[in-house]
Amino acid sequence: MNSMAIFCIVLLAISSLLIFGIIFFSILKYIKKRYYPTWKFPDYVSVGYAEYLYHKFIKKDLQDWLNQQR
């Protein structure tokens, strides 16, 4: 197989994955809209929890930050 065929196969695989992802999430949205119209999903993160995660995983200074909060 030449490089063009490999490139086409990879491109086809990526596009298939995207199409199946769109179909999957469309089905989920249909189920939610049809059977659970008033269900409230918490689509937010509290600011304090986001700050906690930022200091725990990004800056890695969680203990210093917690000491400043007290």
pLDDT tens, 8-67?
999 999 999 999 999 999 998 888 888 877 766 565 656 777 777 777 777 777 777 677
Position 41 scores a pLDDT of: 57
pLDDT of 39 reads 67
pLDDT confidence of residue 70: 66
What is the C-alpha separation between 64 and 24, in angstroms, rounded?
43
Q: Do the Cβ atoms of 49 and 43 come closer than 8 Å? A: no
Q: CA-based Rg of the chain, rounded to a whole angstrom?
A: 22
For the chain, the maximum distance between any two Cα atoms, rounded to a whole number of angstroms, is 64
| Calpha distance 25→18 (Å, rounded) | 11
**What's residue 31's pLDDT?**
85
